[in-house]
Chain A
């Protein structure tokens, strides 16, 4: 991208003697805006509709299907409705912090897109500390959420904010520890570097590289659910206990910001897992054309991410909310020790086989396949048990 901009500058598209830094800044701003408006915000919006449909089908309902074809435009209607609502700021609230909080949350949702590796070329900035940047920035959410909870001057909001802070900070530890095994194996923190260290075949993915990474994948996934306040860890906004948690006093566009960030963070969390453990955009080299390859890589990456997002919706439709003590004990008594074992195990593994063990990849892949077959068998068992009319139509 830098070369392309340099060539534009050399052609004189920006005047005779432009400041290179200024042109770069403008180019980065434009690229950021394009990513935001073409990927991030549409995803965060449309996924609300997808989630409601998936959730409805899990509960044998239909879900929103009136606005647009199959209800596809529901997100637009909801967005317009929210924008049209009155923006209420409580009298007793700390107005300045109250206004600032949603922007911090949205900032934590927007900044990670800078290192989002959509394909081998489609990445805004391939930072050499990409994954560290990603974890650091997503943790910024906690500041916004805590600020929202405090500034609202409302008991529900404060409890929600405190819970969210406790939850996000706690689960940062197993999530970070689950990232380390991959860093150990690749020796890099760059998103593209980690993806390039994997292959397109599943047995070359880090998820199946060794048993410790397999467990680390699951721990990272569950921790990311907790960091995004997703069910079963949605204590900060538990409707039955805390009204809407830290978002109780918010309305209109500010409320929309919180939930756009929450749904958008699903994509980011899934993208981290896809990058670290599922081979990212890796695709077999079927074409010499860079454009075709990049398009295929883009599709591969997004497909992996969307599958993970679907699993997180599916979990939301399956599991009930945990208590706060259960959530904390899960993190500190189970996830943290297990991730330490993962880290040490991977370190030993790398010491024994510095270039990886090719047999382990196949064995772990076979294990994963066996689990999938067992799962499919359980699904057919429960489907037969219900003696229901089957209905495979994805929509209705």
Chain B
């Protein structure tokens, strides 16, 4: 009986399990496929869905590059080749070469860390395929340009204000990890002063000091479109295009705008102070 019982139990098990298995696969036939048809049949470019801090291919905003060579020195594999000349009369720095070998770059981000203005930064671009190794060397300078030098005054040069805003945001978020996240988590991590205080870099105190103040009264409920004070809108206007153009701009804008708002003088001084220091010393602390 036992043998014949297991014989018919096997038949029953086979029928029941195949029946259920076929039902499972049939239910999959009416489900939406998961496939993302990268690169050509997607609604939004993948680059636009990546976070602001994504370490993609390096880019340089030459308009705000101070020629301090900090990135060149920081690069552990020497994929950045820079050459600068100092004009004795005008005391201007002329950058004559700025090459980044993307083929060598390992995307560690150590070059964008010491940059005082955030001129060298990672983008969200990652499609670097090309036909030759030579074409992977990004030559940012075709003819020598004068390095950026901050103007004395309450406001930065309107031409570079957008770039500076973006660059400083990049630098700030390096110093304060988590400020890229939505406001609720940012408020939780912001009161920690340790990373900001540990970096004796010029722009950091200016940008980081108001942050705990702005973070303290922040409501627990995340409310990104909060009514900003009037001076804040005035100060943030040049930055608006850059902020909205950057990915995840809406979440970042709420984090940076209040930080700028309480003391517009400080923030405008901050970029001005940075080149001044690097101009004299030429050697900001390499690593934080």
Interface residues of A (CB under 8 A from B): 54, 56-62, 314-315, 317-319, 333-334, 375, 378-383, 385-386, 388-392, 396
Q: Using known A-B contacts A375-B23, A378-B19, determine if residue A62 contacts B32 with beta carbons closer than 8 Å.
A: no
From B10, B18, B25, B31, give the contact of A391 (CB < 8 A). Answer: B31
Q: Does B35 contact A (CB under 8 A)?
A: yes
The answer to whether A383 and B33 have CB atoms under 8 Å apart is: no
* Residues in A neighbouring B24, C-beta threshold 8 A: 318, 382
Q: How many angstroms from the CA of A314 to the CA of B22 in the assembled complex?
A: 8
Q: How many angstroms from the CA of A6 to the CA of B129 in the assembled complex?
A: 69
- Is chain B's binding surface mostly helix, strand, loop or mixed? helix
From A57, A60, A61, A315, give the contact of B22 (CB < 8 A). Answer: A315
Q: Using known A-B contacts A379-B23, A381-B23, determine if residue A59 contacts B28 with beta carbons closer than 8 Å.
A: yes
Total interface residues in chain B, CB < 8 Å: 22
The answer to whether B31 and A375 have CB atoms under 8 Å apart is: no
Q: How many angstroms from the CA of A285 to the CA of B24 in the assembled complex?
A: 39
The answer to whether B27 and A379 have CB atoms under 8 Å apart is: yes
Q: Using known A-B contacts A378-B23, A388-B32, A390-B32, determine if residue A62 contacts B37 with beta carbons closer than 8 Å.
A: yes
CB distance from A97 to the nearest CB of B (A): 39
List 10 contacting pairs A-B, 8 Å CB cutoff, sorted by A: A60-B33, A61-B33, A61-B34, A314-B26, A318-B18, A318-B24, A334-B11, A378-B20, A391-B30, A392-B30
- Is chain A's binding surface mostly helix, strand, loop or mixed? helix
From A314, A334, A380, A386, give the contact of B31 (CB < 8 A). Answer: A386
The answer to whether B22 and A375 have CB atoms under 8 Å apart is: yes
CB distance from B96 to the nearest CB of A (A): 47
Q: Using known A-B contacts A62-B35, A396-B33, determine if residue A57 contacts B28 with beta carbons closer than 8 Å.
A: yes
Give B1-50 interface residues, CB cut-off 8 Å to A: 7, 10-11, 18-35, 37
Q: Using known A-B contacts A334-B11, A382-B24, determine if residue A58 contacts B19 with beta carbons closer than 8 Å.
A: no
Interface residues of B (CB under 8 A from A): 7, 10-11, 18-35, 37
CB distance from A83 to the nearest CB of B (A): 28
CB distance from B227 to the nearest CB of A (A): 38
The answer to whether B19 and A390 have CB atoms under 8 Å apart is: no
The answer to whether A383 and B22 have CB atoms under 8 Å apart is: no
Q: How many angstroms from the CA of A314 to the CA of B25 in the assembled complex?
A: 8
* Residues in A neighbouring B33, C-beta threshold 8 A: 56-57, 60-62, 391, 396
Q: How many angstroms from the CA of A375 to the CA of B18 in the assembled complex?
A: 11
Residue of A nearest to B23 (CB): A378
* Residues in B neighbouring A315, C-beta threshold 8 A: 22
* Residues in B neighbouring A60, C-beta threshold 8 A: 28, 31-35
The answer to whether A386 and B25 have CB atoms under 8 Å apart is: no
The answer to whether B19 and A386 have CB atoms under 8 Å apart is: no
Q: How many angstroms from the CA of A379 to the CA of B21 in the assembled complex?
A: 10
